[in-house]
Amino acid sequence: MAKTIDLFQVADEELEARSRFTCRIKTCASTACLSAGAGPVRTALEQAVAAAHAGHDIEVVPTGCMGLCSKGPLVRAEPRGASPTLFEQVTAEGGRAIAETFTGQRSEPDVTVLDESIPFFTQQRRVVLKSAGKINPDRLEDYVAEGGYRAVLTALTEMTPQEVIEVIRDSGLRGRGGAGYPTATKLGLLADAQGETKYVVANGDEGDPGAYMDRTIMEDDPHRVLEGIILAAYATGASQAYIYVRAEYPSAIERLERAIRDARRHGLLGRNILDNSFRLDVAVRIGAGAFVCGEETALMASIEGKRGTPSIRPPYPTERGLWGAPTMINNVETLANLPEIIAGGADAFASVGTGSSKGTKVFALAGKLQHTGLIEVPMGITLRTIVYDIGGGIPNGRSFKAAQTGGPSGGCIPAAHLDTPVDYESLRALGSMMGSGGLIVMDDTVSMPEVAKFFMEFCMDESCGKCVPCRAGTVQLHELLGKICDGKATRADLQLLESLSWTVRDTSLCGLGQTAPNPVFSTLHYFRNEYLDLVAGGR
Amino acid sequence: MANRRARPNGLNVTIDGVEMSAVEGESVLDVARRAGAAIPTLCYLDGLSVHGGCRVCLVEVDGEHAPRLACSTPVTDEMEVRTATEAITEHRRIVVELLFAEGNHICAVCVSNGSCELQDLASEVGMDHVRFPYQYPDRAADASHPKYVFDPQRCILCTRCVRACAEIEGAHVWDVAARGADSYLVTELNLPWGEAPSCTWCGKCVTVCPTGALAFKGRAIGEMEHDTDLVGFLARARTEGEWEGRS
Amino acid sequence: MSAKPRFATVWLGGCSGCHMSFLDLDEWLLELAGRVDLVFGPLTDAKAFPPDVDITLVEGAVANEDNLELAHDLRANTKTVVSFGDCAVTGNVTSLRNLDGDTDRLLQRVYVDGPDRNGVLPSAEGIVPPLLPKVLPLHQVVPVDVYLPGCPPSAERIRAAVEQLLDGEPGDERAYGIRFG
């Protein structure tokens, strides 16, 4: 039987326990740093602390992503009563040196320090990633110490479900999966739907090339995702939730499953959550990594154990979803915003952002930049700030050519629009989209038809094959783009590329096909000359 | 058709300028066909569930930014539908061209030459040639079944066979494997058809095939005629007890 | 120079069935002969494709280097090029060899492994044209003005199409219909 957690007592105990250490050394255990060798770093830190018999004074804490992935593995030493130091590109050797510095065995480690006052850190605003990189994602107590699950407590004890939806409506939160649908409207649809059982699904089937926002959120702060799910379920009357995660995210799956077990053990899931009459079960469902399963109808088919292909809407999931029951699907990042909205209030949340795009957005910053990694920025920030301040500009003396947002569904934004604020409407007006948060910066060496071809190849490979325009159209678009890139295309081929793009966009069954031509449209719009040059060079 | 249910709400629908009355639950396709509009279909078949994969029945609906499928879109009151605008006609032609380019549709040597819905559709949409390069996929035929042949070179993945087998015969021998352009039909769990123990030899899959992909064994060029009305008749007979109309 | 339109027919990679269907026009051929100058065709004694042709019906797909050269020649010298029959329009049976995709393997199978008694690959430089890697429909090699599919197009359809061309209103397929196979 679950013993209900006393959130305040656990938080106090946890903070008290932390204060007993003279230094806490945090070592990034997120996928990017692990692949750069963070595993041996952590072992070296722990061994050095153990060898010095300093386990009572120094705590080594494996955390999630600290952000600047291109400088990983990252280690952050937080000595009590002194300012913290962030170390970059730490090796096992370096890890030992860092530990020995704080055990007093040496004066300072020979490891490069990363200045945390650079714009990469200062220009960010962390809401969803508030605790990421700071806490041990495998410990419920760590999350509780940061104020975790207080929003659930508040909601269950002081608010009606309708009030929860109203607060979210006032916050202006919109879906972070790409389309930007108002979250409160979606919640309202499920709340109003009639059904014995209702389902909430967290969509963690992130698949855009270069994007890892959702993976990071799930890996680094799984309880925040769970808390968001509990709030969404309470607001809508759902009693079962699923987190749909792709199989390529093994540590996200492991950490979520542990988080679910711990939450259940502490009375945060199951019957009578926090001793209230509300019940909710959460289970992880693992996808096989098909991009199309991020589309909600295909995702539901996959959860039901069927072939992951989309189906025609209507009916919409909130009318007839999983096993015919009303179902709401939200992106992981959207849900991870809910605890802060309920705990901190709608006004505080809405004070960040622009008129129609409130709050923050997490981006996976990649490409030709000095600094790449995971960032969370206030909506309305300009692309220029992201590229030149946070990203530190273009390396190797090259110049900025375009920023690609929205992944294979998005578009390329040229230098002329660098001062555009990053919000749903502005990006759409430029022929791109917010998307789930992939942001790839390209320098002047990049050929835009090649970029379009790259994304088309992705869509072609990921097409489920159900509808003709996507299945066969992406193949032909890819072939036409290849012909153009090879300088073998004629003007007629270019015309055909455009008219086929329109057909694929207008006639495909689901979002994958409907948006697959977007990179073609946007590169044609801003860089038509590159196409014409290649065509003119052909026969 | 006899009216068995209590009369639902009447709706006014305009199809290509023709005012029609319709009842709730009817699709745009139902009403358009009554109005005499020639909306082509491929994956849709009366008697089977709606699939929505072929996209040739797209129509324009007032107030919608993208075309809608006639087969799956329910009519609403005051709906205005245009079934053959210039854009729709061009979309349909491109979709048919894509189908011809992705398979190996050599009409001249096909069992269904002369009674093929894809061949007819090419004429209907004015496809006098295919602008896209042919893909020439290498797909082996399955002639392991004693009575039937499956030639995937002619398959357009409309899944009529999958649905007829699962929904009307209840055997679910057929399904789709792999994805995207690599998608192909399988019998059983990718066993040769002749070794598929769940196949009842009923032949419904063959009767519904719009092309020459599924055929009776031993038919020569142009000799295969399908019987696409059968499943619609069976479906109605079972759900509505209407057994008249076929010998 | 005669005032009559100059008319040509070309036989590329095909079975000549389209030409047979053309011959099925019987007595109308006499009428046609009165209206055009037949300047090139399988039965004319011309070595090279002539200049200033008004209408050329092209049967067959582009399968070998001779076909390719002739296709470019005829395009350069013709006002209205008609893709005549399924092989020209789609590749048709001629293109079935594309399913294998390897011309060497194909020739080996047909001339060496097959029942051919000589058991050698055909080769005579300048006489036997090398195969192209892939058989192509005519329009993927040169621009085509009018498409007349069919295997073969019936005599009636050929006549309707040619009459339309002679009347100077090409390309309205409603007159001659579209039918593959």
C137/B129 CB distance under 8 A: yes
Residue A98: per-residue pLDDT:
95
Judge: C137–B136 Cβ closer than 8 Å, yes or no: no
Chain B residues inside the 8 Å CB shell of A503: 90-91, 94-95
Tell me the torsion sign for CA atoms B129, B135, B141, B147: negative
Place of tokens 């999983």: A322
DSSP-assigned beta bridge partners for residue B61: B81
- Taking only residues 114 to 153 of chain B, the set having a beta carbon closer than 8 angstroms to any beta carbon of chain A reads 131-133, 135
Name every chain B residue with its beta carbon within 8 A of the beta carbon of C173: 126, 128
- Mean of the per-residue pLDDT values of chain B: 94
Q: Does residue A213 contact residue A64 with C-beta atoms inside 8 Å?
A: no
A217 Rama sector, left if φ>0, alpha if ψ -120 to 50, beta otherwise: alpha
| Binary contact (B123, C179; C-beta < 8 A) | yes
Going along chain B from its start, the domains and CATH numbers come out as: 12-84 (3.10.20.740), 111-234 (3.30.70.20)
A66, A31 Cβ separation under 8 angstroms: no
List A residues 282-311 in contact with B (Cβ-Cβ < 8 A): 290, 292, 307, 311
Per-residue pLDDT, A539: 44
B124: nearest CA partner in chain C: C178
Q: Is A281 exposed, middle or buried (0-12, 13-18, 19+ CB in 10 A)?
A: middle
The answer to whether the CB atoms of C90 and B100 lie below 8 A apart is yes
Q: How far apart are CA A50 and CA A56, in angstroms?
A: 10
The pLDDT value recorded for residue C114 is: 85
Instruction: Round to whole Å and give the CA distance between A371 and A521.
Output: 29
Q: Is A465 on the interface with B (CB under 8 A)?
A: yes
Residues of B with Cβ-Cβ distance to A459 under 8 angstroms: none
Give SS3 for C135: strand
Tokens of A534: 């290649």
Chains meeting C at 3+ CB pairs closer than 8 A? Answer: B
Q: Which residue of C has its CA nearest to B123?
A: C178
User: The tokens of C89 are what?
Assistant: 């329009």
Q: What pLDDT does residue B5 have? A: 47
Among C99, C101, C149, the residue with its CB nearest the CB of B104 is C99
* ipTM score: 0.94
Q: What is the CA radius of gyration of chain B?
A: 19
Residue in this structure with the two tokens 């066969």, named with its chain if needed: A472
Domain coordinates of chain A in residue numbers?
A: 18-115, 147-349, 360-443, 448-537
Higher-confidence position of A169 and B4:
A169
Nearest CA distance, C45 vs chain B (angstrom): 31
- Across the B/C interface, how many CB contacts are shorter than 8 Å? 64
Domains within chain C, CATH numbers bracketed: 6-96+134-166 (3.40.50.700)
Residues 6+ apart with CB under 8 A from C133: C101, C103
Query: pLDDT at position B7, please?
Result: 53
**Which chain C residues are Cβ-neighbours of B128 within 8 angstroms?**
89, 147-149, 173, 178
pLDDT at B6: 46
The count of other CB atoms within 10 Å of the CB of residue B14 is 16
For residue B113, list chain C residues with Cβ-Cβ distance below 8 A: 181
What is the C-alpha separation between A257 and A138, in angstroms, rounded?
A: 10
For helices A250-265 and A222-236, give the axis angle rounded to 10 degrees: 60
Interface test with B, best of C146, C173, C180 (most B CBs within 10 A): C180
What distance in Å separates the CA atoms of residue B190 and residue B178, rounded to the nearest whole number?
11
Chain C nearest CA to B182, separation (Å):
16
The distance of B116 to chain A (nearest Cα, Å) reads: 18
Cα–Cα distance, A333 to C62 (Å, whole number):
56
Going by the DSSP 8-state scheme, the letter that residue B46 receives in this structure is T
B67 near B60, Cβ under 8 Å?
A: yes
Of the partner residues B107, B110, B136, the one whose CB lies closest to the CB of residue C99: B136
Tokens of B27: 């699709």
- The CA-based diameter of chain C, rounded to the nearest angstrom, is 54
Q: Which residues of chain A have pLDDT under 70?
A: 1-2, 537-539
Kindly identify which residue of chain A lies nearest to residue B71, measuring between CA atoms. Answer: A312
Q: Would you call B54 and A509 a contact, using CB atoms and an 8 Å cutoff?
A: no
Closest CA to C180 of B126, A167, A525, A130: B126
Q: Check pLDDT > 60 for residue B46.
A: yes
Distances (CA, A) of B41 to B70, B121, B132, B215, C24: 9, 9, 22, 20, 36
A483/chain B closest Cα distance in angstroms = 11
The nearest CA of chain B is from the CA of C157 a distance in Å of: 13
* B103 to chain C: closest CA residue: C99
Residues in chain B with CB shorter than 8 Å from the CB of A486 are none
CB A337 within 8 A of CB A209: no
Pick from A210, A221, A208: nearest CA to A178: A208
Q: Which residues of B touch C (CB under 8 A)?
A: 100, 104-110, 113-114, 119, 122-123, 126-131, 133-134, 136, 138
DSSP state of A293: G
Phi/psi at B138 (5° precision): -95, 100
User: What would the pLDDT profile of C75-88 be if each residue is shown by its tens digit?
Assistant: 999 999 999 999 99
Tell me if the domain spanning A448-537 has CATH number 3.40.50.12280: no
Which residue does chain B place closest to C86, by CA atoms? B108
Range A147-349: architecture per CATH: 3-Layer(aba) Sandwich (3.40)
Express each pLDDT in B93-126 by its tens digit: 999 999 999 999 999 999 999 999 999 999 999 9
Residue C9 token pair: 């027919």
With beta carbons less than 8 A apart as the criterion, state whether B160 and B45 touch.
yes
pTM: 0.94
Express each pLDDT in B115-124 by its tens digit: 999 999 999 9
Look at residues A429, A330, A421, A427 and name the one whose alpha carbon lies nearest to residue A377: A421
> What does the alpha-carbon distance between residue A173 and residue A359 come to, in Å, rounded to a whole number?
7
A18-115 and A448-537 have identical folds: no
Nearest to C93 among B109, B119, B138 (CB): B109
Shortest distance between the Cα of A508 and any Cα of chain B, in A, equals 7
**Residue C31 predicted with pLDDT over 70:** yes
Chain C positions touching chain B (beta carbons under 8 Å): 83, 86, 89-93, 95-96, 98-101, 137, 139-140, 144, 147-149, 151, 173, 177-181
Residue A2's pLDDT is 66
Q: Which two tokens stand for residue C32?
A: 């046609």
User: Which of A401, A535, A519 lies closest to A452, judged by CA?
Assistant: A519
Q: Is the CB of B91 less than 8 angstroms away from the CB of A467?
A: no
pLDDT at B1 over 70: no
* Residue A218 φ/ψ, nearest 5 degrees: -70, -40
Mean pLDDT, chain A, rounded, equals: 95
Residue A401: strand, helix, or coil: strand
Q: Report the C-alpha gap between A407 and A6 in whole angstroms.
A: 43
pLDDT band at C105 (very low <50, low <70, confident <90, very high): very high
Sign of the dihedral through C-alpha A314, A315, A316, A322? negative
**Residue A43 corresponds to which tokens in the numbers above?**
């072992």
CA distance B166 to chain C (A): 32
Q: Is the pLDDT confidence value at C2 over 60?
A: no
Instruction: Name the residue facing C178 among B100, B110, B122 (closest C-beta).
Output: B122
Inter-chain residue contact B179 with A476, CB threshold 8 Å: no
DSSP β-bridge partners for residue C59: C11, C84
Distance between B244 CA and the closest CA of chain A, angstroms: 33
C-alpha A537/C-alpha C139 separation (Å) is 21
Tracing tokens 């060898």 back to the chain, one arrives at A51
CA gap A434, A439 in Å, rounded: 9
Closest by CA to A47, choosing from A39, A64, A20, is: A39
Among candidates A465, A475, A507 on the partner chain, residue whose Cβ is nearest the Cβ of B179: A465
**How far separated are the first and last CA of chain A, in Å rounded?**
76
Amino acid letter, B186: V
Fold of A18-115: Glutaredoxin (3.40.30)
CA within 13 Å, CB half, A147: 11
Q: Does B192 touch chain A (CB under 8 A)?
A: no
Strand partners, A261: none
From B91's Cα to the closest Cα of chain A, the distance in A is 5
Fold (topology level) of A360-443? Ubiquitin-like (UB roll) (3.10.20)
Token pair in block for residue B246: 């076929």
Is C83 in Cβ contact with B133 (below 8 Å)?
no
Q: State how far the Cα of A385 lies from the Cα of A358, in Å rounded to an integer.
A: 18
Task: Choose among B108, B109, B129: nearest Cβ to C139.
Answer: B129
- If you ran DSSP here, which 8-state letter would residue C173 be given? T
Contacts of B102 in chain A (CB under 8 A): 471-472, 475
Q: Which residue, B245, B243, B244, B241, is CA-closest to B4?
A: B241
